[in-house]
Structure 1
Amino acid sequence: MPSGIVLSNGHTWKQQRRFGAVTMRNLGLGKKGMEHQIEEEAQQLVEIFARAKGQPLDPLLPITNAVSSLICVLSFGYRFSLEDEEFQQMMEAVDFLLKFGGSFCHAVTEVFPRLMKRLPGPHQKALFSAAMVLSFTKREIEKHKEQQSFHEPRDFIDFYLLQIEKSKGDPNSTYDEDNLAECILDLFIAGTETTATSLQWALLLMVAYSDIQEKVHREIAGVFGSSHAICYQDRHKLPFTNAVVHEVLRAKFMLPVGIPRRSVKDVNMQGFTIPKNTIVITDLRSVLLDPEQWETPEEFNPHHFLDKDGHFVAREEFLPFGAGARMCLGEQMAKMELFLFFSNLLKVFRFQLPEGVKELRKEPVMGLTFHPHPYKLCAVPRTGLS
């Protein structure tokens, strides 16, 4: 039976999900503590871009490291060095798993798992990658157990180990180290890839739509000038910038379909009967690109989230994180990261094509997630800013 949060069901899912939500709050999600950590990571990302001195830069690695560092602080209590070879191998393994997911080979592996385990192919690398990430996580769990730090919990592993202690003797408990390792894997896959890829799309789109990029910068500069450090509450003062971030998530949504779910009872929907225990896969495109809800659904248009007076408008149809009880656990953290990383970068740099490059490819690479083709851009420091 699947473990962790994302793919589990029934009693296991209820316990893991409830624990995850409570622990994320205990670790500062939605509070100043977590926001301050994101702000610090955003400033470090700005410094890394600045070191390129306006020369062509592939933003993938610095963006991924910035986002994954926050997941590390949340999960393990500390961030890894960019030079840490073992950590880089783990992140490469996570990246491969996401690119492998959704492929034909992945589909065949899911249908014939026992047969495919004996045959050569890219699925063997995927199996090895998954095992490597879980092994890395389990070593971190062992370190926490040796340190006995869970008696004064400071991160997700500590809180979970404490919960295992509290649940000893409870026959209905699903808290164990295997579920803990899977929960950490879920946090990395859901929390790193989605946010990092959305930020890559955001920068690519700013290069493609330089007029929108300039409007974002003018709004930020007009409100704060060059010295003010942007915080998450500032999104209310930056409606156009906030609208751009939301439009990136809508127009370049990450998942081609929602994560498969199982109906818990018979459901009648618009004349169709969905029997109990049916696997249900939602079509995110049907809502995020619905021509009846969005003025120009196929175009990148921040005005989808602005009223006639330029005020930001939340949209009920905006569902890139899903809906209901199983919506993304890290939605709030992802929104904070995207807004703070994006606004701080656009405040300092003008993003443009490298010399000799005429345009960037805006169509996605198909996989378990929709991510951009590899690209380079130039982050040119704006005059008088640092």
Structure 2
Amino acid sequence: MMAMGIILLVLLLALLILFFLKQLWSRRHLPPGPLALPLIGTLWADGVWLREDYFLKHVKRYGKIYSMWAGPQLIVVLSGFKAVKEGMTNFPEEFSNRIEDPFFTALGKGMGIILSNGLTWKQQRHIGITSLRKLGLGKKSIEHQIEDAAQKLVEVFRQKKGQPFDPTFPIQHAVSNVICSLSFGYQFAPEDENFQKLTKAIEIIVKISGDFFHLVYNVFPRLMSYLPGPHKQALASVDLIVSFAKQEIEKHKESSFQHEPQDFIDYYLLQMEKSRNDPDSTYNEENLAQCVFDFFAAGTDTTFATLLWALLLLANHPDIQKKVQKEIEDVFGLSGSISYQDRKKLPYTNAVIHEIQRVKHVTLSGVPRQSTKDVEMRGYHIPKGTVIVADLRSVLFDPEQWETPKEFNPNHFLDKGGKFIEREEFLPFGLGQRACIGQQLAKTEIFIFLTSLLRAFNFQLPEGVKELNEEPIVKMAVHPQPYKVCAIPTQA
């Protein structure tokens, strides 16, 4: 029996060696990376739980382009500004597809803007960009909606009377209402039941994206469709938002605004009418409802998280906060409106906002893509079907591009004369064909919300608190730990 056991052990060892040698040979032209084991891929080296350095830790050993494996799925990570720019600009078509991720497929069903591909993606992206432009991005129309939401947020903060409070819900409400204005043409009161359901649904979806249940769902999608868990809550949350969007679509169909569009749904319905005789058209109510979901999913959480990080950082750095407030007061005084175009008159304020977005980037990486054909990059073979991760966080923390990459340093965006510098390496919204279509809206929101709040309040630490915790909660989105802050009115 012992001899038989030794023989089996030797055979097993021989099979493992053969497997290892076969893997080395078959993958010799791929970018380097940790050894991939059967079933688990490189999870033994990467870990299951996401961390800030999840995609950065292999760079020193394997370089700026390396391989990971999720089971049998090859993932190629592009790290640092030069590699990301090269990949996204040299292979715009080849790296343009969204990944075939079972969980994301269940969420998006191949429709809308974010999770679609091919003609559906091109047409939905087109209507998204053109309608946002027509609704007045960069013009007074949409800025008026944002300014209104910002002033309401100022009043909510004023009601706290300088006492410590958690700014999470007021900011979430304000940002979500901007998306409601764009999508539906109206805003919600904070206590509105439908509004509370919508914001809760987004929270649930963001919480599970990139979590353990997301990973398990991708490995066992059929099994997970029968089992209870957070994934079920996330899928139900998508259904809730889409169902609400469909109700709004019905209301808009009954209105008289289709030929004088007031919001995104109006513009989309008008496009459906124009395209009704086109057999290739993907403009339909199912895609429209999914586009509304995409606006909520992509347009709410990222801006909301950025503003939360902003107040935290400014409370932790009162010297920087005071310089911003002084610049705003010197240029505009204590009253009157400030538009997004006014950022050119506020170089230090603009630099601080950019640095907040850099040092506290609110996504772990760019949304993964999938190669549509074989590609040769830097001497490596990247096969068709490979998942491509353009690690935006590595770009924003690239030590080759930023003087003090891990520090909150607004001078990254200022020249020696104090003038604002546009930097090519600043890529929080991505690069190429899949860059965020709502980036202009997000920039406008962040600027107007922050200048409005900093004009009205000094943000201070609660009594007895020396510093707010800057350690993040890491999922696919990166949020600060819950905190409280004091909003002290600048004018009595």
TM-score normalised by length of structure 1: 0.96
- Indicate whether 1:4 and 2:112 are aligned: yes
Q: How does 1:344-359 map to 2 (within 5 A)?
A: 344-359=452-467
Q: In structure 2, what is the equivalent of residue 69 of structure 1?
A: 177
Could you say if the C-alpha distance between residues 231 and 148 of structure 1 is closer, same or farther in structure 2, counting changes exceeding 3 Å? closer
Q: How does 1:122-161 map to 2 (within 5 A)?
A: 122-161=230-269
Matching residue's letter, 1:327: A
Q: Render the CA deviation track for 1:206-251: whole Å, top value 9, x for unaligned.
A: 0111111111111111222212322212211111110010001100
In the TM superposition, residue 147 of structure 1 has moved relative to its aligned partner by 2.6
Q: What is the CA–CA distance in structure 2 between the aligned matches of 1:152 and 1:226, rounded to whole Å?
A: 37
Q: What is the CA–CA distance in structure 2 between the aligned matches of 1:259 and 1:11, rounded to whole Å?
A: 19
Q: What is the CA–CA distance in structure 2 between the aligned matches of 1:3 and 1:215, rounded to whole Å?
A: 46
What is the aligned length? Answer: 384
* SS, match of residue 218 in structure 1: helix
Q: In structure 1, what is the equivalent of residue 475 of structure 2?
A: 367
Q: In structure 2, what is the equivalent of residue 315 of structure 1?
A: 423
Q: What is the CA–CA distance in structure 2 between the aligned matches of 1:211 and 1:147, rounded to whole Å?
A: 52
Between 1:21-30 and 1:151-160, the stretch displaced more is 151-160
In the TM superposition, residue 274 of structure 1 has moved relative to its aligned partner by 2.0
Q: What is the CA–CA distance in structure 2 between the aligned matches of 1:257 and 1:112, rounded to whole Å?
A: 24
- Match for 2:156 among 28, 48, 55? 48
Q: How does 1:80-99 map to 2 (within 5 A)?
A: 80-99=188-207
Q: What is the CA–CA distance in structure 1 between the aligned matches of 2:226 and 2:417, rounded to whole Å?
A: 62
Q: What is the CA–CA distance in structure 2 between the aligned matches of 1:11 and 1:127, rounded to whole Å?
A: 25
- Indicate whether 1:175 and 2:278 are aligned: no
In the TM superposition, residue 158 of structure 1 has moved relative to its aligned partner by 1.2
Matching residue's letter, 2:225: K
Matching residue's letter, 1:237: K
Q: What is the CA–CA distance in structure 2 between the aligned matches of 1:14 and 1:42, rounded to whole Å?
A: 33
TM-score normalised by length of structure 2: 0.76
Tell me if the contact between 2:272 and 2:283 (Cα under 8 Å) persists in the aligned partners: yes
Tell me if the contact between 2:373 and 2:384 (Cα under 8 Å) persists in the aligned partners: yes
Q: Render the CA deviation track for 1:66-112: whole Å, top value 9, x for unaligned.
A: 11111111100111111211111111111111011110111111332
Q: Render the CA deviation track for 1:45-70: whole Å, top value 9, x for unaligned.
A: 11111111111121111111111111
- Indicate whether 1:268 and 2:376 are aligned: yes
In the TM superposition, residue 148 of structure 1 has moved relative to its aligned partner by 4.9
Q: What is the CA–CA distance in structure 2 between the aligned matches of 1:326 and 1:75, rounded to whole Å?
A: 21
Q: What is the CA–CA distance in structure 1 between the aligned matches of 2:154 and 2:366, rounded to whole Å?
A: 33
* SS, match of residue 294 in structure 2: helix
Q: In structure 2, what is the equivalent of residue 230 of structure 1?
A: 338
Tell me if the contact between 2:138 and 2:340 (Cα under 8 Å) persists in the aligned partners: no
Q: How does 1:18-57 map to 2 (within 5 A)?
A: 18-57=126-165
Q: Render the CA deviation track for 1:139-166: whole Å, top value 9, x for unaligned.
A: 1112112335323321111111122222
Give the RMSD, CA atoms, in angstroms. 1.3
* SS, match of residue 162 in structure 1: helix
Matching residue's letter, 2:464: G
- Indicate whether 1:244 and 2:352 are aligned: yes
* SS, match of residue 220 in structure 1: helix
Structure 2 spans left out of the alignment, 5+ residues: 1-108
Matching residue's letter, 1:59: P
Q: In structure 2, what is the equivalent of residue 189 of structure 1?
A: 297
Task: Give % identity.
Answer: 59
Q: In structure 2, what is the equivalent of residue 298 of structure 1?
A: 406
Matching residue's letter, 1:379: A
Q: What is the CA–CA distance in structure 2 between the aligned matches of 1:79 and 1:15, rounded to whole Å?
A: 27
Matching residue's letter, 1:29: L
Q: What is the CA–CA distance in structure 2 between the aligned matches of 1:131 and 1:101, rounded to whole Å?
A: 16
In the TM superposition, residue 269 of structure 1 has moved relative to its aligned partner by 1.9
Matching residue's letter, 1:122: P
Q: Render the CA deviation track for 1:271-327: whole Å, top value 9, x for unaligned.
A: 222233432121112211000000000111111000111110011000000011211
Q: In structure 2, what is the equivalent of residue 119 of structure 1?
A: 227
* SS, match of residue 433 in structure 2: helix
Q: What is the CA–CA distance in structure 2 between the aligned matches of 1:151 and 1:224, rounded to whole Å?
A: 39
In the TM superposition, residue 370 of structure 1 has moved relative to its aligned partner by 0.2
Between 1:61-70 and 1:269-278, the stretch displaced more is 269-278
Matching residue's letter, 1:306: L
* SS, match of residue 281 in structure 1: strand
In the TM superposition, residue 265 of structure 1 has moved relative to its aligned partner by 3.4
In the TM superposition, residue 358 of structure 1 has moved relative to its aligned partner by 2.9
Structure 1 spans left out of the alignment, 5+ residues: none
